Amino acid sequence: MAGDDPAADARGAKRSDTAPNEVLLSSRRLSCLVTDGIDGRKRETLRRFAAVGAAAPFVGTASAEAGNDDSERTDANETREAIRGYVPTTPGAHFSKLRDDLRLGTGEAQHHLRKLEEAGEIESAKDADYRRYFPADRFDDLDKRALGYLRRDTPRGMILALLRDPEATGAELAAELGVSRPTVSAAAADLDEAGLLDRTDGYALTESERLLTLAVRYADSFDADAVAFADDAADLVAYDP
């Protein structure tokens, strides 16, 4: 019966006290291991783009603001350099893509982007619901609009298809992209309004050389189809923004 053996009761009490603590400690160790893994992947991503940023021609002399210690200053500088490397290689990327690709927190990304804009190293432009980022003073307004549409799946697919076959019809574009005719029509209307497409007689790109150059030059930052297109079309580039 319970209480007949005080020593046994004490031993049981000790086991019941320590078991939850051991579980808690194990959970904390596991959490630390997971966090370390996430931080390691983030650090690797930041360093990869920071290496590009260190060599980028638009890098300014603005340094990260002083932190409380050397570790904070190192992290801030590394993040800032990563953004400096990312933006020129992925121009027109919107905020969420940049944040996610670099494994940054929302506030962290906002802070460093604001500092780089204030320093005149990058610039941003509103594009419908997106804010897109570009290296400062590199692209004109039409370039920025073109890059914005190249970063959207259906418009990019249409642009690449029309660069391959300028005579492609709306039905052919819909079939190639695996979307509906209304989806193609809506994207065509947007491209027309942006000054990139003429719908007077079918679909005709109005800035073919510009779009070709941007699609080829930044193909790696789009998708596999853009890369395949670039492999075939790189020798056709004539426009140089």
Closest CA to 184 of 201, 193, 171: 171
- Is residue 64 within 8 A of residue 80, CB to CB? The reply is yes
- At 124 the pLDDT is 96
Q: To 5 degrees, how large is the angle CA 231–CA 172–CA 181?
A: 120
- At 128 the pLDDT is 85
Domain 71-138 part of CATH 1.10.1200.10: no
- At 4 the pLDDT is 52
- Single pTM value for the model: 0.70
List for the chain the helix, strand, coil content (%; round to 5).
65, 5, 25
Question: Would you give per-residue pLDDT tens digits along the chain (241 residues)?
Answer: 444 544 444 444 444 444 545 544 454 454 444 445 546 665 565 555 555 544 444 433 334 454 455 545 555 688 999 999 999 999 999 999 999 999 999 999 999 999 999 999 999 999 988 999 999 999 999 999 999 999 999 999 999 999 999 999 999 999 999 999 999 999 999 999 999 999 999 999 999 999 999 999 999 999 999 999 999 875 555 445 5
Whether 71-138 shares its CATH topology with 142-236 is answered yes
Domain locations in the chain?
Answer: 71-138, 142-236
- At 60 the pLDDT is 37
Q: Distance between CA 135 and CA 57 in Å, rounded?
A: 10
Domain 142-236: give its CATH code.
Answer: 1.10.10.10
Give the SS3 label for residue 132.
strand
Task: Dump strand ranges (E) for the chain.
Answer: 93-94, 122-127, 130-135, 197-198, 204-205
